[in-house]
């Protein structure tokens, strides 16, 4: 849950289940594909590194900007379409419920607003993020796609869409969404980090991941000790010969991209 300042480094997704001592999380039978992918990615990284890799549980490092602020008005509606006071008040109430962690109430209010005012990109963005927190990932993708359609120049919305795609195993689309966010805002720390994680854990491109982690560290306010360790790990990593494990992990990654 993000703090009220909406800074991209201030929020984390829910921590993974299990693995209290630092080990990999146990597969969740309710989300078997994602659990298997996460475990295979963890195992593959351990095999490819000559020294021990730093644990990167994706669920705890993906940066999000959950409560998109209503100000300025241009963030949630086309500049040529002024927002009526009652609509703004409804937006503020939904935002307050979301920030307070009253997700059921926030979900109801955002859904009502989205149906009545499909032109408001911020409404769809917040609806999608609450849906994602509730584990309704397909719905979250649909809502965030509407958000970027309504507000295509909002880099943060594209970052959130990338996270939603990643949750549904659509890694190519996640990459495109993060890259679009960075095209709009090259210094968006959340998108730099999320794209680095995607290349590191899911696309198997360590060189690109290192580049993105280093770019992220140049813009991360106050630094980031965990990402500094990940970057060091990648610099020291030695190439490993092709093994059956690497082949299995590569196949899993491909199947993840093809998952519906």
Query: What residue spans of the chain are helical by DSSP H?
Result: 32-48, 85-99, 103-116, 121-133, 137-150, 155-167, 171-184, 189-197, 206-219, 225-236, 244-258
pLDDT digits (tens, 9 = 90+) for 13-23: 333 333 333 33
**3.40.50.1000, 1.20.210.10, 1.20.1200.10, 1.25.40.10: CATH of 76-151:** 1.25.40.10
If DSSP codes are grouped into helix, strand and coil, which group holds residue 87? helix
240 band by pLDDT with thresholds 50, 70 and 90: low
pTM higher than the cut 0.95? no
Helical (H) or strand (E) element with 158: helix 155-167
User: What residues contact 254, with CB distance under 8 A and at least 6 apart?
Assistant: none
- Determine if the peptide bond prior to 72 is cis (ω within 30°): yes
- Predicted local distance difference test score (pLDDT) of residue 85: 86
Q: Which distant-in-sequence residues (6+ apart) come within 8 Å of 84 by Cβ?
A: none
Delimit the CATH 1.25.40.10 region(s) of the chain: 76-151
Over residues 74-91, the mean pLDDT reads 68
- CA separation (Å) from 46 to 2, 41, 51, 55, 139? 31, 9, 8, 9, 34
DSSP E strand boundaries for 173-248: none
How does residue 238 score in pLDDT terms, banded at 50, 70 and 90?
Answer: low
> Taking the alpha carbons of 236, 238, 239, 243 in that order, is the dihedral positive or negative?
negative
Structure tokens at 119: 């032109």
Give tens-digit pLDDT for 125-182.
999 999 999 999 999 999 999 999 999 999 999 999 999 999 999 999 999 999 999 9
């Amino acid at each position: 849950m993000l703090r009220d300042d909406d800074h991209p480094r201030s929020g984390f997704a829910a921590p993974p289940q299990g693995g209290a001592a630092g080990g990999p999380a146990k597969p969740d039978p309710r989300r078997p594909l994602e659990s298997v992918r996460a475990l295979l990615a963890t195992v593959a990284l351990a095999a490819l590194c000559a020294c021990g890799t730093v644990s990167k549980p994706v669920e705890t490092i993906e940066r999000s900007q959950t409560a998109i602020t209503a100000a300025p008005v241009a963030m949630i509606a086309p500049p040529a379409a002024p927002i009526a006071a009652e609509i703004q008040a409804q937006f503020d109430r939904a935002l307050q419920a979301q920030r307070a962690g009253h997700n059921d109430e926030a979900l109801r209010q955002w859904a009502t607003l989205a149906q009545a005012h499909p032109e408001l990109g911020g409404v769809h963005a917040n609806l999608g993020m609450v849906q994602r927190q509730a584990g309704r990932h397909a719905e979250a993708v649909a809502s965030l796609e509407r958000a970027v359609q309504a507000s295509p120049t909002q880099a943060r919305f594209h970052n959130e869409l990338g996270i939603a795609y990643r949750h549904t195993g659509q890694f190519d689309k996640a990459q495109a969404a993060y890259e679009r966010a960075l095209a709009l805002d090259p210094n968006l720390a959340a998108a730099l980090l999320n794209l680095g994680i995607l290349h590191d854990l899911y696309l198997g491109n360590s060189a690109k991941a290192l580049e993105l982690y280093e770019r992220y560290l140049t813009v991360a306010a106050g630094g980031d000790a965990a990402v500094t360790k990940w970057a060091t790990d990648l610099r020291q990593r030695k190439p490993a010969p092709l093994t059956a494990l690497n082949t299995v992990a590569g196949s899993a990654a491909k199947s993840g991209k093809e998952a519906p």
